[in-house]
């Protein structure tokens, strides 16, 4: 898989390119995690673990990524958190239905080849009443964005897609309700979205 290979090669320098640009948005998104109780939280597409520093020690976490090299970079960031690292595919999660209270999808829906399948899997493993925290780049319906669409043709096979329309991804999942949708970066191209499973 070309995408998996490129992220394996990119893993040693991923944080240098991504951390500074995304840390505030990650922190904003993860601030929506409840502080009370002990939740089961899945970080699907965890990469090098850039979300980990913003996670409380209250909950039990499972961090999943398709690339072992990315998970190896995440390991040192765990600290004293209760966290399992699992190699697996966000489009075919190796977990039972309704296993988690929260699913975190940060910079994964626009990376995987099939965004809808990724979100469907997140919804499948989420308990009713649970939430999905999304941080990613999405076009709006009707937005022309010729440059992004053009670049997306080049980057979709080995880095990320730039032409994903979130509303198109969501429409096949009527049990997911949008709780909030906020601009995060790049004039609203990157968004913070919270979904609730009914």
What pLDDT is attached to residue 84? 98
> Residue 57: pLDDT above 70?
yes
> Residue 135: pLDDT above 50?
yes
Residues of the domain holding 96: 2-197
What pLDDT is attached to residue 65? 95
Averaged confidence pLDDT in the chain: 86
What pLDDT is attached to residue 155? 46
> Residue 144: pLDDT above 70?
no
Closest CA to 140 of 195, 184, 189, 192: 189
> Residue 12: pLDDT above 70?
no
pLDDT in tens, 81-118: 999 999 999 999 999 999 999 999 999 999 898 999 99
What pLDDT is attached to residue 89? 95
Higher pLDDT, 35 or 100: 100
Contact yes or no for 71/63 (Cβ under 8 A): yes
- Answer whether 0.75 is exceeded by the pTM: yes
What pLDDT is attached to residue 37? 84
Mean predicted confidence (pLDDT) in 40-69: 95
> Residue 147: pLDDT above 90?
no
Name the one residue in this structure whose structure tokens are 């699907």.
Answer: 44
For the ranges 87-91, 130-134, 160-164, which has the lowest average pLDDT? 160-164
Question: Quick one: tokens of 83?
Answer: 């966290």
Higher pLDDT, 190 or 28: 28
What pLDDT is attached to residue 4? 63
Percent of the chain with pLDDT over 70: 80
SS3 content of the chain, % helix, strand, coil (to 5): 35, 30, 35
Distance (Å, whole) CA 77 – CA 60: 15
Mean predicted confidence (pLDDT) in 55-76: 94
CATH number for the domain that contains residue 87 = 3.40.50.150
Domain tally, the chain: 1
Compute the chain's Rg from CA coordinates.
Answer: 16
Q: How confident is the model at residue 78 (pLDDT cuts 50, 70, 90)?
A: very high
Question: Quick one: tokens of 72?
Answer: 């190896």
């Amino acid at each position: 898989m070309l995408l998996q290979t490129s992220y394996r090669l990119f893993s040693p320098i991923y944080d240098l390119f991504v951390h500074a640009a995304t840390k505030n948005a990650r922190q904003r998104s993860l601030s929506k995690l409840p502080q009370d109780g002990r939740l089961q939280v899945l970080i699907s597409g965890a990469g090098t673990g850039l979300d980990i520093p913003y996670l409380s020690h209250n909950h039990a976490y499972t961090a999943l990524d398709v690339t072992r090299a990315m998970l190896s970079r995440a390991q040192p960031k765990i600290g004293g958190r209760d966290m399992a690292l699992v190699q697996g595919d966000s489009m075919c999660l190796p977990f039972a239905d309704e296993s988690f209270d929260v699913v975190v999808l940060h910079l994964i829906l626009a990376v995987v080849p099939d965004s809808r399948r990724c979100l469907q899997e997140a919804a499948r493993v989420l308990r009713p009443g649970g939430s999905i925290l999304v941080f990613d780049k999405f076009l709006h319906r009707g937005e022309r964005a010729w440059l992004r669409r053009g670049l997306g043709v080049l980057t979709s096979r080995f880095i990320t897609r730039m032409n994903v329309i979130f509303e198109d991804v969501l429409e096949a999942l009527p049990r997911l309700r949008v709780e909030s949708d906020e601009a995060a970066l790049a004039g609203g191209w990157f968004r913070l979205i919270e979904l609730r499973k009914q």
